[in-house]
Structure 1
Amino acid sequence: MAMDNRSFFSGVLICVLLNFASSVEAAPTGSLITELPGFNGVFPSNHHSGYITFDEKNLFYYFIVSERNPSKDPVVLWLNGGPGCSSFDGFVYEHGPFNFEEGKPNGSLPILHLNPYSWSKVSNIIYLDSPCGVGMSYSKNQSKYINDDLQTAADTHNFLLKWFQLYPEFVNNPFYIAGESYAGIYVPTLSAEVVKGIKAAQNPIINFKGYLIGNGVSHTKFEGLAALVPFAHGMGLVSDDMFEEVERACKGNYQNLIGSCSISIDKIDQALSGLNIYGILDPCYHDPTSDHHTERNTSSNLPISFQQLGATERPLKVRKRMFGRAWPLWAFEKHGNFPSWPELALQGSVPCVNDEVATAWLNDESVRKSIHAEPKSIAGPWEICSDRIDYRYGAGSMLPYHRNLTTQGYRALIYSGDHDMCVPFTGTQAWTRSLGYKIIDEWRSWVSNHQVAGYLQGYANNLTFLTIKV
Structure 2
Amino acid sequence: MALSFSSIFSFSLLFATLPLLILAAPESALITHLPGFSGAFPSKHYSGYITVDEVNGRNLFYYFVVSERNPAKDPVVLWLNGGPGCSSFDGFVYEHGPFNFESGGSTGSLPKLHLNPYSWSKVSNIIYLDSPAGVGLSYSNTTSDYNTGDLKTASDSHTFLLKWFQLYPEFLQNPFYITGESYAGVYVPTLSYEVAKGIQVGAKPILNFKGYMVGNGVCDTVYDGDALVPFVHGMGLISEDLFQEVHNACRGSYWNPVNDKCQTILDKVDSEISDLNIYDILEPCYHGSEIKEVTQNSKLPLSFRRLGETNRPMPVRKRIFGRAWPLRAPVRDGRVPSWNELASSGSVPCTNDEVATTWLNNEAVRSAIHAQPVSSIGEWAICTGKLYFVHDAGSMIKYHKNLTLLGYRALIYSGDHDMCVPFTGSEAWTRSLGYNITDSWRPWYRNDQVSGYIQGYTHDLTFLTIKGAGHTVPEYKPQEALYFYTHWLTGQKI
Tell me which interval the TM-score lies in, with the shorter structure as reference length.
Answer: 0.7 to 0.9
CA–CA distance in structure 2, aligned partners of residues 438 and 98 of structure 1: 40
CA–CA distance in structure 1, aligned partners of residues 316 and 48 of structure 2: 30
The answer to whether the 8 A contact 1:82-1:326 is kept is no
Cα pair distance change 1:233/1:449, threshold 3 Å? same
Cα pair distance change 1:118/1:292, threshold 3 Å? closer
The CA deviation string for residues 41-80 of structure 1, in whole angstroms up to 9 with x for no partner, is 2100000000001312110000000000000000000000
Q: How does 1:385-404 map to 2 (within 5 A)?
A: 385-404=383-402
Q: How does 1:140-151 map to 2 (within 5 A)?
A: 140-151=141-152
The answer to whether the 8 A contact 1:90-1:96 is kept is yes
The CA deviation string for residues 106-144 of structure 1, in whole angstroms up to 9 with x for no partner, is 221110010000000000000000011100000111011
The answer to whether the 8 A contact 1:284-1:309 is kept is no
User: Aligned residue for 1:296?
Assistant: none
User: Aligned residue for 2:405?
Assistant: 407
How many residues end up aligned between the 2 structures?
436
Query: By how many angstroms is 1:399 displaced?
Result: 1.0
Q: How does 1:56-205 map to 2 (within 5 A)?
A: 56-205=57-206
The answer to whether the 8 A contact 2:183-2:217 is kept is yes
Asked if 1:283 is matched to 2:281, the reply is no
TM-score scaled to structure 1, two decimals? 0.87
The answer to whether the 8 A contact 2:177-2:212 is kept is yes
| Structure 2 counterpart of 1:267, one-letter code | K
| Among 379, 382, 394, the residue aligned to 2:380 | 382
Gaps of 5+ in 1: 1-18, 294-307
CA–CA distance in structure 2, aligned partners of residues 259 and 364 of structure 1: 51
Cα pair distance change 1:205/1:277, threshold 3 Å? same
CA–CA distance in structure 2, aligned partners of residues 414 and 357 of structure 1: 29
Cα pair distance change 1:274/1:444, threshold 3 Å? same
User: Aligned residue for 1:253?
Assistant: 253
| Among 432, 442, 445, the residue aligned to 2:443 | 445
CA–CA distance in structure 1, aligned partners of residues 324 and 215 of structure 2: 10
| Structure 1 counterpart of 2:222, one-letter code | K
Deviates more, 1:279-288 or 1:104-113: 279-288
Query: By how many angstroms is 1:449 displaced?
Result: 1.7
CA–CA distance in structure 1, aligned partners of residues 58 and 277 of structure 2: 36
> Looking at CA atoms only, which structure, 1 or 2, has the larger radius of gyration?
1
CA–CA distance in structure 1, aligned partners of residues 437 and 100 of structure 2: 39
CA–CA distance in structure 1, aligned partners of residues 443 and 303 of structure 2: 30
| Structure 2 counterpart of 1:90, one-letter code | G
Cα pair distance change 1:98/1:20, threshold 3 Å? farther
Q: Secondary structure at the match of 1:199?
A: helix
| Structure 2 counterpart of 1:143, one-letter code | S
CA–CA distance in structure 2, aligned partners of residues 402 and 220 of structure 1: 15
CA–CA distance in structure 2, aligned partners of residues 271 and 233 of structure 1: 11
Query: By how many angstroms is 1:321 displaced?
Result: 3.4
The answer to whether the 8 A contact 1:284-1:310 is kept is no
Cα pair distance change 1:333/1:123, threshold 3 Å? closer
Query: By how many angstroms is 1:252 displaced?
Result: 2.1
The answer to whether the 8 A contact 1:282-1:320 is kept is no
CA–CA distance in structure 2, aligned partners of residues 20 and 356 of structure 1: 45
| Structure 2 counterpart of 1:132, one-letter code | A
The answer to whether the 8 A contact 1:285-1:309 is kept is no
Cα pair distance change 1:195/1:20, threshold 3 Å? closer
Query: By how many angstroms is 1:284 displaced?
Result: 2.5
Asked if 1:418 is matched to 2:419, the reply is no
CA–CA distance in structure 2, aligned partners of residues 144 and 219 of structure 1: 26
TM-score scaled to structure 2, two decimals? 0.83
Deviates more, 1:98-107 or 1:250-259: 250-259
Q: Secondary structure at the match of 1:104?
A: coil
Q: Secondary structure at the match of 2:352?
A: coil
CA–CA distance in structure 2, aligned partners of residues 284 and 411 of structure 1: 37
The answer to whether the 8 A contact 1:359-1:384 is kept is yes
Query: By how many angstroms is 1:452 displaced?
Result: 1.1
Gaps of 5+ in 2: 1-17, 294-300, 306-310, 470-494
Cα pair distance change 1:131/1:311, threshold 3 Å? closer
The CA deviation string for residues 416-438 of structure 1, in whole angstroms up to 9 with x for no partner, is 00101111110000000000100
User: Aligned residue for 2:4?
Assistant: none
Q: Secondary structure at the match of 1:222?
A: helix
Pairwise CA RMSD of aligned residues?
A: 2.7
| Among 361, 370, 373, the residue aligned to 1:372 | 370
Cα pair distance change 1:389/1:367, threshold 3 Å? same
CA–CA distance in structure 2, aligned partners of residues 348 and 152 of structure 1: 25
The answer to whether the 8 A contact 1:80-1:87 is kept is yes
Cα pair distance change 1:390/1:362, threshold 3 Å? same
Query: By how many angstroms is 1:309 displaced?
Result: 9.7
| Structure 2 counterpart of 1:86, one-letter code | S
Query: By how many angstroms is 1:385 displaced?
Result: 0.5
